[in-house]
Amino acid sequence: MKLYTIETGFFKLDGGAMFGVVPKTIWNKLNPADENNLCDWAMRCLLIEDGEKLILIDNGIGDKQDAKFMGHYYLHGDDSLDKSLAKHGFHRDDITDVFLTHLHFDHCGASIIRNGEKLVPAFKNANYWSNADHWKWATEPNDREKASFLMENILPIKESGQLKMIAGQMLADDQLSMTKKQITPNGAQRPSAIELRPSKIIDSLSIRFVNGHTNAMMLPQISYKGKTIVFMADLLPSVGHIPIPYVMAYDMFPLTSLNEKKSFLDQALSEDYILFFEHDPKNECCSLQQTERGIRSKEIFRLSEI
C-alpha cells in the first residue's frame, strides 16, 4: 500500500466561524486573518493505492460553480486535483473509488463536472461511497445546513449509477425527523457512533462515524506501515482545533463535537494515532502528547515522511 497527499488548492473562510467561541485574540495567532477576517484553509485530500484499488478520499470544491459563488471563497494557490494526481503519475480516470467523508461542497464539489449541459461524474470509472444516513440528511437538508449541500454536487452521483453505500449507524425515520428539528442546544443530545466499521473497500480501511459537525460524517482510519492514520475531515480541521473547546460554529451539534473530540483524542493518544488534516493550511500530519494544558500536537510532519 502507498499513500499520497493530494492538494487541491486553498480557500478562505471566516476565522470566527472556524473557531467558534474562541476569541480572535487567541485564534488569530494560530491562523492569522486578513483585513476581512478571513483565514486561509487547505482542501487536502488523500489517495490510497492498494493493489488494483486507487481510492481518493474527498476531492475539494471543484470548478463548476459560477463566479459569484466562487467569489465568496477566494480560491487561490497553484495546486489542483488534476495536477496533484499527475504529480504522482495518476489521472482521474485511474480512480477506482471516491470516498466522501460528507457531502459539504468543499469536500465533494469535484465529484461532478459539467459536460456541455450535463452534470456527469468526474471519475468515470469509480464507485462513489457515502452512507445512507448521511445521504438522506444531505438530500433533505435542514434550513441552516442546506447552503453547504449543493444538489448539483450530490444528485448526479446517484443518477449515474456509481453510488455505493457504506454500512453505518442508521437512524429510524422518526429519529432522523426529530433530529432535524433539534438545531438548538438540545441537538447536543444527538447520538454518536464511535465504533469502527469495516469499509468494504479494502481490508486496511475502517470507518469511524461522528455526528457533531453533520450527521454521520465518516472518518477513514488506515493501517499503514505499522501505524494508524486517521483522516480528520471536519472533526479536527487543523492542528489549531485540537484543544477541546475549539469547535467550529459550522458544527450542527457543537457539544456532540466536543464529546467526540474528547473521546477520539483520548484513544488517539493512547494508541499513538497519526492525524491527517484536511484543512490545515500548513500542517499535513501530527502525533499527540499529553501536556499540562491537555492533549496537544507532538511532532508535525508530512505524510511522505512516515
Per-residue pLDDT tens over the stretch 115-162 = 999 999 999 999 999 999 999 999 999 999 999 999 999 999 999 999
Q: State in Å, rounded, how far the first CA of the chain is from the last one.
A: 13
Residues 6+ away with beta carbon under 8 Å from 147: none
Q: pLDDT at position 194, please?
A: 55
CB 74 within 8 A of CB 43: no
Angle in degrees, CA 174, 178, 181, rounded to 5: 150
> What was the pLDDT predicted at 199?
83
Residues with Cβ within 8 Å of 124's Cβ and at least 6 positions away in sequence, in order, are 93
> To 5 degrees, how large is the angle CA 241–CA 197–CA 193?
55
pLDDT in tens, 183-209: 433 333 444 445 678 888 999 999 999
CB 62 within 8 A of CB 19: no
At 169, the pLDDT band (50, 70, 90 cuts) reads low
What digits encode the pLDDT tens for the residues 211-248? 999 999 999 999 999 999 999 999 999 999 999 999 99
Query: What's the whole-model pTM score?
Result: 0.92
Q: Note the pLDDT of residue 202.
A: 94
More confident residue, 36 or 173: 36
CA pair distance 119, 299, nearest whole angstrom:
43
pLDDT confidence band for 177 (50 / 70 / 90): very low
Q: Is the pLDDT of residue 166 over 50?
A: yes
- Contact between 246 and 297 under an 8 Å Cβ cutoff? The reply is no
- Higher-confidence residue of 194 and 253: namely 253
Give residue-wise pLDDT tens across range 261-273.
Answer: 999 999 999 999 9
Positions of E strands within the chain: 2-14, 38-50, 53-57, 97-99, 112-115, 118-121, 127-131, 163-166, 196-198, 205-210, 217-224, 227-231, 274-276, 285-291, 294-301
What pLDDT, on the 0 to 100 scale, is given for residue 68? 93
- Choose among 78, 150, 70, 140: nearest CA to 112: 150
Average pLDDT along the chain = 92
Assigned fold of 2-305: Metallo-beta-lactamase; Chain A (3.60.15)
Give the pLDDT mean for 68-91.
96
Residue 304 near residue 229, CB atoms below 8 Å: no
Are residues 260 and 214 in contact, defined by beta-carbon separation less than 8 angstroms?
no
3-state secondary structure of 35: coil
Return the DSSP state at 279: S
Closest residue by Cα to residue 261 from 168, 179, 194: 194
Q: Where are the domains of the chain?
A: 2-305
Residue 77: burial class (beta carbons within 10 Å; 0-12, 13-18, 19+): middle
- CB-side neighbour CA atoms (13 Å) of 50: 16
Measured CA to CA in angstroms, residue 110 lies from 85, 135, 157, 173, 242 at distances of 13, 17, 11, 30, 28
C-alpha cell at 19: 473557531
Stated as kind and residue range, the H or E segment containing 270 is: helix 254-270
